[in-house]
């Protein structure tokens, strides 16, 4: 089991998301530019000045220490002083989960990101109540960025568009010794801890809506090789179930 160590900037506390390659300045590229909400936070909340240093990350493992060399009202230019790449983890946790209501969905995505979940698939099921549209998905993406900035994580989790359970089962039907498909079920005999081991490199966890999966959905998942797991003694809300699985996965081995 290989877990990447989160690389942190040498001295800056604040980290900013810049989705582009991060490399030392060359004759062709003297500076990199930060704009949008990230620049607003830097310039108008933190009131950064020329000469200040910050951390940059691009969400794909690239990290850098950079110095502010100039700024305008809504953008800032940096010179990269040092950069490195954090390797990707060999182990994956994929959450295919129904979405809870309101801010609970943002909380789910934020905490899953902090705990190292590599991919989040918003799940459409028969009993789903929440089906996030484009605006909601944009907010969830921003939640992953904020969580990476706070936690020191270098790589953004992949956030899929709304996907049906049948589509997820088609993608992950081929279960192997290094991949396991788990179905959260309060009636299951085995716990999630019992099913996670050092040899499993990819874990896919299916989490249903508040009303649970239907009998047909449950049977379809089992037919594709899913193993039911219990997350505790009580029936959990969607976001609590996601947190329980993510925590158990992060503490395995």
**All residues at 6 or more sequence positions from 96 whose CB lies less than 8 Å from its CB, including other chains:** 121, 123, 163, 165, 168, 204, 205, 206, 207
Strand 119-124 relative to strand 163-164, pairing: parallel
pLDDT digits (tens, 9 = 90+) for 109-148: 999 999 999 999 999 999 999 999 999 999 999 999 999 9
Domains defined along the chain, listed by start: 15-85 (2.40.240.20), 92-250 (3.40.1280.10)
Distance between CA atoms of residues 88 and 40, nearest Å: 30
Distance between CA atoms of residues 190 and 181, nearest Å: 14
CA angle 71/75/79 to nearest 5° reads 60
pLDDT digits (tens, 9 = 90+) for 97-106: 999 998 999 9
Tokens 């499993």 -> residue? 200
Beta-bridge mates of residue 183:
206, 228
**Total Cβ atoms within 10 A of residue 30:** 11
Of 199 and 210, the one with more pLDDT: 210
pLDDT digits (tens, 9 = 90+) for 144-178: 999 999 999 999 999 999 999 999 999 998 767 78
Confidence (pLDDT) at 195:
86
Distance between CA atoms of residues 102 and 125, nearest Å: 18
Burial class (CB in 10 A: 0-12, 13-18, 19+), 250: middle
């Amino acid at each position: 089991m290989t877990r990447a160590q989160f690389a942190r900037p040498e001295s800056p506390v604040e980290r900013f998301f810049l989705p582009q390659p991060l490399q030392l300045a060359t004759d062709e590229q003297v500076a990199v530019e930060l704009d949008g909400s990230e620049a607003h936070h830097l310039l108008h909340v933190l009131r950064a000045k020329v000469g200040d240093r910050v951390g940059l990350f691009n969400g794909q493992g690239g990290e850098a220490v950079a110095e502010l060399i100039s700024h305008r009202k809504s953008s800032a230019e940096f010179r990269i002083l040092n950069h490195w790449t954090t390797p990707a983890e060999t182990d994956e946790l994929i959450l295919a989960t129904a979405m809870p209501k309101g801010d609970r969905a943002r909380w789910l995505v934020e905490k899953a990101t902090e705990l190292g979940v590599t991919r989040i698939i918003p799940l459409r099921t028969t009993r789903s109540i929440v089906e996030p549209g484009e605006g909601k998905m944009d907010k969830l993406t921003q939640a992953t960025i904020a969580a990476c900035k706070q936690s020191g994580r270098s790589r953004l989790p992949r956030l899929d568009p709304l996907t049906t359970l049948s589509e997820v089962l088609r993608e992950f039907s081929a279960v192997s010794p290094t991949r396991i498909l788990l179905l959260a079920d309060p009636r299951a005999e085995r716990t999630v801890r019992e099913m996670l081991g050092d040899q499993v490199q990819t874990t896919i966890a299916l989490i249903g809506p508040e009303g649970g999966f239907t009998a047909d959905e449950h049977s379809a998942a089992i037919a594709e090789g899913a193993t039911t797991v219990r997350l505790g003694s009580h029936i959990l809300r969607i976001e609590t179930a996601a947190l329980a699985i993510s925590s158990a996965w992060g503490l395995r081995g």
